[in-house]
Structures are given as C-alpha cells and as structure tokens.
Structure 1
C-alpha cells in the first residue's frame, strides 16, 4: 500500500499559504565563558541560510515528490532578496510572493555549538497586513488556481501577519468552490477563524492557548472533551492534535484514534511541526483518510527530530519506516 501511495505523491500540486522566513545558522564551538558577562563565547566556523517557516513546508512537500507552490509576503529588504535566491536555488515556485514596501522579512538566527542550539535571535514584524495588501496576495492566489490543478491547500500560520480572518474567509470560499481540501496548521491569533476546513492540526500548546483552557493531555477523557469543544466551534472535517512524546490524536465525524509516538533519540525538535503538516497534507491530497495521514505524519515528525536544525523529510527513509 505505502509504495503506491508514495508514488502517487509525484503527481500532486500543493499550495501553501503562510508566513515564510529565513532560518540562519551560526555553527561553532564553545570552549570558554566571556569575561564581559556570564555567557558562552561561540567561535563560529560555519554560516548557513535556509528556507524557513512556510518555506520549510514547501521544502518538505518537494522532498515528498509533490510540487509545492508558495503564496506569501516578504519585505523589500536585503533579507527578502536573499530569501528569493534561496527559493530559486531550491527549485520552488515563488512567483506568488508579494513584496511589501517597508516591511521586514522574518529571519530566525540559531546559534548552534557542540550540536546544541544555545541561542535564537528573531528579527521580524508581526503586524497584520491591511486589506489592500491582502488583496494583492489573494490576486496571486486566484491566479495560481486558474493556472494549476491544485490538490490541497495548506494554511501555515506563524502569527507573523500574513494570515488574517479576511484572507482565511476568501481562500476557503475559493477552495470550497473547487473542492480543494484545506489543511490548517494554526497559531493563537486566528485560532478560531478557520471554519469547515478538512484538517485542523494544532499542537497541545496551541490548543490550550487557542481555547484558553488547561487540561491533562494524559487523561483521555479530558483530551476528548477538549477536542470535541474545538470541533463544535470550527466544524472541521477532521482534527489532528500532535502531542509530542504522547503521539497524535486524530478524530473525524465518526471515529477517533490515538497513535503513540515512536521512541527516538531527539537531537532537535525545530521544524518537526512543518514536517508533520507537509506529510499529512500530501496524504490527504493523495486521497488517504486522516488516520493514515496521521500515522505517517507522526512517523515523519519523529524522524526529523533526530537531526540538528530544520531539515526536510527523507522520502525513502520515511517509506522504509512506514513499511517496517
């Protein structure tokens, strides 16, 4: 079953609407503490810039064999230009990026020493885009729908200002008219703005913040009750809740399943959520049910946690693990 499914990924086009960013890395080693303050001194021996945020989802989609198309905004700054170059180098369609004058491109700089992240520096703005800027994005989005057969749409929200309730409503309207499944990776600000989507995939922290509740995730009755109350509010076809080391909990209109996590040596959890949403969306685009998608997403998320830094999934390794 899995080999056929993985082969079918190669025929899919997946549109990602979300906050793109640059992941910058400074790799080095620490062998002394600063005399100026009680902080480690990192001797940098390597610098690297990679596609991050929703762009990392695009990289994962590409690694799975499908064609990603990204619809987003960047700033009119040096970092925005560098991000465009990274898209070109990665062979990802970035014709639907909108450059916003005076806006700052999001850059997350991670300082890594002795294979451990010791500091992250974020340079960004998270001000919501206005209606006219949203319409520029929507024009690009509608053009993509005209020019390509789109098999799934991912909302990849990091609360950096691209995604607004207005943008969400307009995209959902267009997608519904064309029967395109919508898969959402939400954040706090617009948590309850996504109605009638196909898959809604929060993590535990996002669920608690989005519903302003607290509960014990190990208590299955409490978990079910909380997810049911979310379902009442947004009417999603399926909800997929990622629970870190507890696995994933998937529920649709008439069934629910808790899939335990696979025991792994965790090196770095950065980017694991991006991998999960990419695999889930690609599976849904290929026509699987939420439970197969959840199982493979769970597996993929664990695999990328074994690597340091944000890295896309290895398709052949995921297939081997799935068969195993």
Structure 2
C-alpha cells in the first residue's frame, strides 16, 4: 500500500465539471431573534474555500497527484475570488473559462456552535450555450493532447457545465488514448455516461436516475438496479456509495458489498468529492477495483469527521488503509 501511495505523485488527473466557491460564516448562537423564531448567529470568522469540482482537485492534490480543472466561472467578483483561491493553492487555471453572462456558483454555509444551520446558494443551472460548450470541449481536447493525462473525472453537479456532447466527445477522445474515465453523476446526465471506466452514484442518485425503488433490506433490489445501469452505460465498473452501509462494487463478473467503518460524523459535505478523487488515483495507479472501493469509501468517511468541506489527509488515509489489509 505504501508503494501504491507513492505512485500517486506520478499522476496527472483532469477534472471536468461544475466548480464553485464554498463560503463560510462561523459564529456563536446565544439568543433567538425577536423578529422571528430563528437563532441569531454572531459571526466571528468568514472564509472562502474551493468547492465542487475544485474540491475534487484539492483532494487530488492532497493525495499527491497533479490536478487540472476544466470548467467555467463568471466574470464577476466571486469569479475573481475563485481564481485567487486557485492561485493560493497552487492550482492551474489554464482549464478555466470566464464568462460574462454566467455567475460564479457560491454556496454560503452559516455555522453556529460548529453545526451547519443554513446554506444559501447563488447559482444558475442553465446549460452552457453551444458556443461556450464548444469552447470548453476544445480546451479539454487541447489539454488531453498536449499533456500526459492518467485519468479524467467527470464531477457533475447539474449546474450546466457538462452536456451530452461534451460527455460523448471527451469519452471518445479518452478511449483513443487509453485514459481512465470516472464519473460522479447527477440526475440530468445520469444515463448519458456511456462507455466510462467507473460510474459512481450514491444510493439516492441511483434511485432518481433509474426512477426505481430500492429497498436496502432486499439486496436483490440494489443488485438489479446496478445491473441495469451497467448494461445501459456499458461501464466497466459501477460503485454505489451507501453512506453508513458502505459501498457496493460491481465489475463484469464479480460484485461485493464492502461495509463502512464506524465514524463520528460531523459533516458529510464534500465526502463524495473525496471518494471520486481517491478512486481515480487508485485506479490510475493500478489498484484492483474492490480495494479501490474500500480505500475510497474509507477516505470519504475520514473527511466526514470534520466540519465543513475539507480535503483528505494522505498520511492518515495511508495509515488507515494499511490497517485494512
């Protein structure tokens, strides 16, 4: 496992998807508002962090690999702040396109007494115009053909950056170059990720994407849904994250439910980002799919022990991964 983690530093991982800025207001709650039955948060700290697909990039970086983000932001104050955050974290902005007619997505979380009390979203989920989507596709193809890319992550939040055309063209391009493709899907494009290497929905996304009921007391329900999506997408592997129940992995001829480790959960925000980032680097390093699922699920659990969206600690993950053996 130590040798595997060392290989991470040799990898270049391209991330395509919806980037956002996670803004935090931290404070104390000492009273209820006289204006309405709501708590008053006395703010003592403000903080901006990279979120969405950019948080996946931070996790890739934390694991020792080199991330490259391809996305769009608004040509606005928030977009400028986002670019400054990239610079602060020594992340490249060469895959980022700034648009005048689109806002930068910002999610503001109000936290009192170390508990999230409210989230405020400023965003659009409209699809990119044909022109802007074409610009993004051209930029992605240029990067794929000019750099050695070991895996591509589609980090889809249904905010309009990823389209059917983008998926089809980039998966086709990756196949030509034998690049691994891994997907963290959302509802709008759920059934459009054909021929990818790894498709990783959570249970809620699987239910909504297939419009089926899945009773986790009946394992055959889950197995049937996974078989259906695997056949439809012709994906090599399907990995379904099941929160406290663990993760289910299906390859061509094997399937396995991997139990979760008991954790003291503080905040589940960003856990999916950590799981997909870890899965990408593990697969790109040559790890088998079932151990990849176990290590990725472990990584997702570790970040849930912290309040707010945080990146995985590579040393901590290595220590816990060794204990899996």
Aligned residue in 1 for 2:312: 313
Aligned residue in 2 for 1:16: 15
Aligned residue in 1 for 2:172: 173
Aligned residue in 2 for 1:119: 118
How far does residue 221 in structure 1 lie from its aligned partner after superposition? Answer: 1.2
Aligned residue in 2 for 1:193: 192
How far does residue 218 in structure 1 lie from its aligned partner after superposition? Answer: 3.1
Aligned: 1:62 with 2:64 = no
The structure 1 segments of at least 4 consecutive aligned residues displaced by more than 2 Å after TM superposition are none
Aligned residue in 1 for 2:140: 141
Q: What does the per-residue CA deviation read over 1:175-216, in whole Å, with 9 as the maximum and x for residues that have no partner?
A: 111110100000000000000100000000000000011121
3-state DSSP of counterpart to 1:28:
strand
Aligned residue in 2 for 1:107: 106
Q: What does the per-residue CA deviation read over 1:25-77, in whole Å, with 9 as the maximum and x for residues that have no partner?
A: 00001000000011100000000000000000000000000000000000111
Aligned: 1:33 with 2:32 = yes
Q: Which structure 2 residue ranges, 5 or more long, are not aligned?
A: none
Aligned residue in 2 for 1:288: 287
Q: How far apart, in 2, do the equivalents of 1:56 and 1:41 lie? A: 30
Aligned residue in 2 for 1:251: 250
Aligned: 1:7 with 2:33 = no
Q: How far apart, in 2, do the equivalents of 1:289 and 1:144 lie? A: 28
3-state DSSP of counterpart to 1:214:
coil
How far does residue 290 in structure 1 lie from its aligned partner after superposition? Answer: 1.3
Q: How far apart, in 1, do the equivalents of 2:244 and 2:118 lie? A: 24
Q: Which structure 1 residue ranges, 5 or more long, are not aligned?
A: none
How far does residue 94 in structure 1 lie from its aligned partner after superposition? Answer: 1.5
How far does residue 24 in structure 1 lie from its aligned partner after superposition? Answer: 0.2
| RMSD between superposed Cα atoms in Å | 0.7
3-state DSSP of counterpart to 2:95:
strand
How far does residue 135 in structure 1 lie from its aligned partner after superposition? Answer: 1.1
- What number of residue pairs does the alignment pair up? 323
Aligned residue in 1 for 2:269: 270
Q: What does the per-residue CA deviation read over 1:244-266, in whole Å, with 9 as the maximum and x for residues that have no partner?
A: 00000001101111100000100
Q: How far apart, in 2, do the equivalents of 1:122 and 1:308 lie? A: 18
Q: How far apart, in 2, do the equivalents of 1:254 and 1:232 lie? A: 13
Aligned residue in 2 for 1:72: 71
Q: How far apart, in 1, do the equivalents of 2:173 and 2:58 lie? A: 25
Q: What does the per-residue CA deviation read over 1:227-280, in whole Å, with 9 as the maximum and x for residues that have no partner?
A: 111112111000000000000000110111110000010000000000000000
Aligned residue in 1 for 2:230: 231
Q: How far apart, in 2, do the equivalents of 1:188 and 1:320 lie? A: 35
Q: How far apart, in 2, do the equivalents of 1:7 and 1:304 lie? A: 21
